[in-house]
Amino acid sequence: MKFINRLLFCLSIISLFSCSNDELDDTPSNLPSNSKSYKLYSFELFNEAGSISLEEDLDGVVSFRVNVDQPVITTSAVNIYNGSFNGVNEIMITLNPIPEGSTESITVITQTDNGTRVSYEDLLKIDGHLKILNNINNNHFDINTFTDLGENAFNQGEEKNYPLYNNEDVIGEMVMLPREFEGKPMLIGVNLNDIDETYDYLPAIYEGTKATGNYTKKLVELAPILKFASKSSYTNCSDYLTTEAIENGFGVVLLKTGETIGKGDVGGNELTGSYNDYKFENVRTNKITGNIQLKERLNGKTLITFNLSSQSTTPLSYAVNLNSNNYIQQDSVIANLGIMPAESSEMQYADVRTSLSGRELSYAELTENDYHMRINESSDPTYNGPYYFATADIGTAANSGRVSVTVLEQVESENFDVFVKVDLFERINGDSKALIKLTEGLDQDYDLFLYDGEDHLSTSAKKIINFSSLNVGDEGFARDIYKDADGELITYNEIISVPRHYRLIRKSDGVLVAHAIMARN
């Protein structure tokens, strides 16, 4: 009897040293001396949903510590699987489950499920991935969270989430998870917020942008989102290993009929958040207004969005162009930006990548040099004549925000009843633009000058600026001011730095009809 008792005692001692990986009381006794952490990702939402820590303590005990952000609603299996996260469901190591209502699982690891001994260094290099399931029965397709491990580990911090849009509504997203080690495929996931389970959905990445791209060149064919399955699909992409490698692409989800469910810019076409705002104008009327925004992409290119206000839409469809220099100087057409539809105030989109001659055009190029946009009074994109519906200076030709506003005072004896206002703007490049507004068209031609000093009767005052002739009939004039009356270069700062005054002279007899001291604000 004593022999039997001693035998049972020995067997119990042996059992203490032969516990499998899935014993529940597996907490290491020491603080870790080595550790490697991994992010956990939500299977459906793609957001970070927890973390894993591979740890080795001072005694050489190796453990996996798994933490999820939210308590699980049912006891959840935790397994390490062979290969990367791509649908493979062969379990390599069974870890302790996360109990219902809990957020943590801790498992001491000594061997794989087939009995192969593994060390901390082995686990750092394994070809595997981890999944936390929404069940304890190893239904491998009912996934809560996941991550890749070892040689398949994701490059943490490099993940990108790209919204997919249907008009302005976000209907899902495309996520890209590059891997840490060179040559490993990037994981691309697609998730839809809502699905009709009678359809299969076909995600892909095409060349071009969300705004103007078409479905001519497919860059990546992604795994479909099948009916009666989940709202997500995942694809290991070997053609593009980083998000930056997709220099010019947009993600899209289609039906088999070709109908677009949603799309969004990815990779190099992602917007950086840098932008510049500009305003359409027409010097002949205050009734035409509109907005322009230049947005920078990661690849250095530009998305231009523009629209006219509902009170100032075009009567016909007109071509929109990007021209060099400011709109007063006009110069050549650099790029065609599409057509402004008749009577439309909806936002229009244009991608600017190269000029008509094939020269690369970057966001920096457009914002650091003189350019302008023109809505021409023509549907012909090659038209570059004098007739325009609206214009806007952009880049360094645009207004800096500084302006001198001066209203001229009529000389009563000359019976001149036209209200004249001079808005002198500073451009970003330091030059000036003058907008001369009238309440009605002139009955004959006049000359407008800017003189030194404040005495409009002085015969010795020096003429500083000649604004050229204000011709009969027009109610508005725009002048590009970068030279003085002697042909020397002059800046806005130099113009307003000292007292000066305007004189409006009737051409036919040289008589002064209006004047004013220039505002110097």
> Which contacts qualify for 408-413: CB closer than 8 Å, 24 or more apart?
408/502, 408/504, 408/514, 408/515, 408/516, 409/514, 409/515, 409/516, 410/513, 410/514, 411/512, 411/513, 411/514, 411/515
The tokens of 387 are what? 């007739």
Cα 67 to Cα 30, 135, 141: the distances in Å are 19, 16, 20
Band of residue 29 on the pLDDT scale cut at 50, 70, 90: low
CA 85 – CA 185 distance, rounded (Å): 11
Determine the pLDDT at residue 179.
95
The tokens of 490 are what? 């002059």
- Comparing 66-80, 238-252, 317-331, 466-480, which segment has the lowest mean pLDDT? 466-480
CA 324 – CA 332 distance, rounded (Å): 6
pLDDT at 23 over 60: no
Q: Is 464 exposed, middle or buried (0-12, 13-18, 19+ CB in 10 A)?
A: buried
Helix or strand run (H / E) with residue 319: strand 318-324
Q: Once rounded to an integer, what is the mean pLDDT over residues 206-223?
A: 95
pLDDT at 4 over 80: no
The tokens of 443 are what? 């009955």
Q: Once rounded to an integer, what is the mean pLDDT over residues 316-330?
A: 97
Q: Report the percent of the chain where pLDDT is more than 90.
A: 80
pLDDT digits (tens, 9 = 90+) for 186-204: 999 999 999 888 899 999 9
Q: In what order do the strands lie in the sheet with 202-207?
A: 218-221, 202-207, 249-254, 260-266, 160-166, 169-177, 186-192, 232-237
CA 240 – CA 187 distance, rounded (Å): 10
- Which DSSP letter does residue 70 get? S
The tokens of 160 are what? 């990108």
pLDDT at 28 over 80: no
pLDDT at 20 over 50: no
CB 123 within 8 A of CB 142: no
Band of residue 89 on the pLDDT scale cut at 50, 70, 90: confident
Task: Name residue, tokens 């633009």.
Answer: 433
Q: Once rounded to an integer, what is the mean pLDDT over residues 205-232?
A: 92
- Which DSSP letter does residue 377 get? S
Phi–psi pair at 317, nearest 5 degrees: -80, 125
pLDDT at 16 over 80: no
CA 32 – CA 20 distance, rounded (Å): 21
Q: Once rounded to an integer, what is the mean pLDDT over residues 105-123?
A: 96
Which is more confident, 7 or 86?
86
pLDDT digits (tens, 9 = 90+) for 137-160: 888 888 999 999 999 999 988 999
Phi–psi pair at 205, nearest 5 degrees: -120, 125
Which is more confident, 320 or 19?
320
DSSP string of 405-446, one letter each residue:
EEEPEE-GGGT----EEEEEEEETTS-EEEEEEESS--SS-E
Phi–psi pair at 414, nearest 5 degrees: -95, 0
Q: Once rounded to an integer, what is the mean pLDDT over residues 237-261?
A: 95
Q: Once rounded to an integer, what is the mean pLDDT over residues 252-276?
A: 96
pLDDT digits (tens, 9 = 90+) for 356-404: 999 999 999 999 999 999 999 999 999 999 999 999 999 999 999 999 9
Average pLDDT, rounded, for the chain: 91
- Other Cβ atoms less than 10 A from the Cβ of 247: the count is 17
42-46, 229-233, 256-260: which has the highest mean pLDDT?
Answer: 256-260
pLDDT at 17 over 50: no
CA 67 – CA 496 distance, rounded (Å): 66
pLDDT at 498 over 90: yes
CA dihedral 215, 217, 222, 225 (to 10 degrees): 20
Delineate the domains of the chain, giving CATH numbers in brackets: 19-150 (2.60.40), 160-269 (2.60.40), 272-395 (2.60.40), 400-517 (2.60.40)
First-last CA distance in the chain: 110
Which is more confident, 351 or 89?
351
Dihedral sign for Cα 149, 152, 155, 161, please.
Answer: negative
Q: Where are the beta strands (DSSP E) in 208-248?
A: 218-221, 232-237
CA 512 – CA 502 distance, rounded (Å): 10
3-state secondary structure 111-168: ECCCCCECCHHHHHCCEEEEEEECCCCCCCCCEEEEEEEECCCECCCCCEEEEEEECC
CA 406 – CA 411 distance, rounded (Å): 16
pLDDT digits (tens, 9 = 90+) for 401-446: 999 999 999 998 888 989 999 999 999 999 999 999 998 888 899 9
Q: Once rounded to an integer, what is the mean pLDDT over residues 301-323?
A: 97
